[in-house]
Amino acid sequence: MRHYYRPEQIRAAEAPLLAAMPDGALMRRAAWPLSVAIAAELRRRAGGVAGRRICAVVGSGDNGGDALWAATFLRRRGAAADAVLLNPDRTHAKALAAFRAAGGRVVEKISDTTDLVIDGVVGIGASGSLRPAAAAVFAATTAPVVAVDLPSGVDPSTGAITGPAVRAALTVTFGGLKPVHALADCGRVELVDIGLDLPQADLLGLQADDVAACWPTPGPADDKYTQGVTGVLAGSAVYPGAAILCSGAAVASHSGMVRYAGPAAAEVVSHWPEVIATREHRDAGRVQAWVVGPGLGVGHDASAVLRFALSTDLPVLVDADALTVLAAHPELVVDRTAPTLLTPHAGEFARLAGAPPGDDRVAATRALAAKFGATVLLKGNVTVIAGPDGPVYLNPAGNSWAATAGSGDVLSGIIGALVAAGLPPATAAAAGAFTHSRAAELAAEDPGPTAVPISATRILTHIRPALAAIL
């Protein structure tokens, strides 16, 4: 499990250590493993440390001191070390003295012969974009950047970029991961333990082991009913593909049984003969959770189908067209006692919330979850999942392979199968999003002439290989 800590939690945890240690000791404790990580990056990119040139871009805070100490250690290992001081009068004095004593040079700009740049401009206490002087320094080089704690100019809490910002190849952070490391592109992220006593995190990210631990694999006494019966209310005469994708994803996610009800019954069964299909939603039979919305349309029939699902005492996942219907009739969800899961993309979110998610996607998702009394999965390159209470889950995809038509229908089928099997909505959503992004990665990596670009169908066909790798 990944734990993401807010900047104020990190600073509070650092305070006792700073009070108990000599001045600058914690900085040097952090700077040594930082220098080791930079040395490894230098060896990977330039073949070694000795004789290579690094340049630290140094701000006035502790991150500038970290960068100077790391450059000092690298200078002692034979690297040529430069430093650009953005605020010379406010540079960390002890770190600068050590840097100069080791033979480091203070320069006005990054040399064209620099092999690696260290971004020590600002840390987790700052916000906003790079100041013009700092932006000009980075704009003048193409050398790869190692960021100290986070790429400067990126908001540490939201990952928002509102102006010039550093683009890092590697970020080395201390004590604990911060939200920015999931919500923004920080390159490869390495975490250095500096002995912080951190509180319980309320921002989490599932990893493969966590998904494997919660995935409902069948035991010796299980049958098709105990493994969950997923009901799918999706598709229309115009969009039968949505029903095929959603139902197929539930099948591939090992739902014990999938029941489909809607106008695409014949098409669904032709693709997935294991699905039990009927045209009328009231004839679907017993299910343990409903997935409603993909390809449903937004007319009177769609409204009736959504009302039917939400009138039951079963968990309901509301997606796609059903979210548009729900935006016009929010009363359908607000007073539900059974679990409800909403899975909007940014446009659907804006219709439900009355405004786009904005820069702080975590706070916006939490607010919408509270408004509807539901679990909300906000789609995007970083999926954000929040319930009315409990932790928020972040799932960084790391790529955009899943950004393709019909991909959301596949995601709904995966999550619906997990909810039908009894997983809590937030856990099901987080595990489903993780598996979905893994399937998209495998679809893109799969050798052959159709490997890229990928499609929702290819994502669906790679659910089972993704699960095999995870489980």
**Binding-site annotation: residue ranges for AMP:** 379-383, 408
Angle at 203 between CA 198 and CA 204, to 5 degrees: 95
| Binding site listing for (6S)-NADPHX | 62-66, 123-129, 149, 242, 295, 345, 409
398 to each of 18, 395, 438, how far by Cα in Å?
35, 9, 10
Asked if residues 460 and 248 have their Cβ atoms less than 8 Å apart, the reply is: yes
Q: Which sign does the torsion angle of CA 73, 76, 80, 86 carry?
A: positive
Measured CA to CA, the distance from residue 306 to residue 332 in angstroms comes to 9
| Binding site listing | 62-66, 119, 123-129, 149, 152, 242, 295, 345, 379-383, 408-409
| Binding site listing for K(+) | 63, 119, 152
Query: What number of other Cβ atoms are within 10 A of residue 350's Cβ?
Result: 16
